[in-house]
Amino acid sequence: MKKIMITAPVHQDAKIFKEYLWSLNRLIIPNGYIVDKYFYLHNADNLKKFLQPNEYEVFKDDTKVEHTNTHIWTQNNFTVVSKMRTKALERARELKYDYIFSVDSDTILCKTTLQELIEDNLPFVSKLHWTPWDSNHPEILGPNCYDGRNSQGQIIFFKSPEKYKIPGIYEVGSAGGCNLISSKIFNHPEINYYPIPILRSSFWEDFAFATRCKSVIPEIKFYIDTNNPVKHLYHKIDFDNWIKGEKEKWEKEF
């Protein structure tokens, strides 16, 4: 049997976290695989009641994430998230998991999401979601991936993300939010999510992770699967719309 660890750093509204767990519990588990959950509850003791004692670790510090029109992240926030994501890599390596399924705690999955990502048979593949990153401009949607980086290490976002509306598998610079990561990657102890001081923007943990992967495993490539995109409950209005009717539709179709 192959083992998968579903994991995430979690600092989340309890109502959203319940919907997140609902979607995880609906997942189709392919034959020959077993799945465990393990979460890092970041200043979120109130979420323990939704989990079994062996499914979480409490991670306490004095950092906070602010929420205005969008999520306001500081470098300290990213550093703390980097620690929790790196702890997940170390746990998966120590307990000999075959995959980490890193799913952010405001993401709603289709029943087939995990099955599809496993069938892609790639060391790193992410499932697409579209997000209105700024609630002041809900008409502007962005994908959960980026194209690459320039010589100064700055992230280059896509100029034309429209192609991702066509179902398929695309090579990208990296991606976040819903990643299936093979032990071919995390078995390398040099790979982690910590910031890289000499590179700008490396406080973004997914960027630092991708950069290290490319350094340690030069042949590695990152992909995003745009078949059956998942849903991102990023803003309060996204959650409100979900509860008011989208969930019922999702249950029937996805």
DSSP string for residues in 186-212: HTSTT------TTSTTTTSHHHHHHHH
Q: Which amino acid is at 33?
A: Y
Instruction: Report, as an integer, the average pLDDT of 178-183.
Output: 98
What's the chain's length in residues? 254
Residue 208 lies in domain: 2-253
> What span, in angstroms and rounded, lies between the C-alpha atoms of 123 and 116?
14
- Asked if 165 and 103 touch (Cβ cutoff 8 Å), the reply is no
Q: Band of the pLDDT at 9, cuts 50, 70, 90?
A: very high
Number of compact structural domains in the chain? 1
- Asked if 37 and 6 touch (Cβ cutoff 8 Å), the reply is yes
- Asked if 235 and 132 touch (Cβ cutoff 8 Å), the reply is yes
Residue given tokens 């990208």 in the structure block: 172
Look up the CATH number of the domain holding residue 131.
3.90.550.10
Q: What's the pLDDT at 68?
A: 43
Instruction: Report, as an integer, the average pLDDT of 46-57.
Output: 96
pLDDT at 150 over 50: no
> What span, in angstroms and rounded, lies between the C-alpha atoms of 70 and 81?
18
Q: Label the pairing between strands 130-131 and 155-156.
A: unpaired
Q: What's the pLDDT at 69?
A: 43
Per the structure block, which two tokens stand in for 105? 């705690």
Please tell me the number of Cα atoms within 13 Å of 252 on its side-chain side.
4
pLDDT tens, residue by residue, 63-113: 655 444 445 445 556 688 899 999 999 999 999 999 999 999 999 999 999
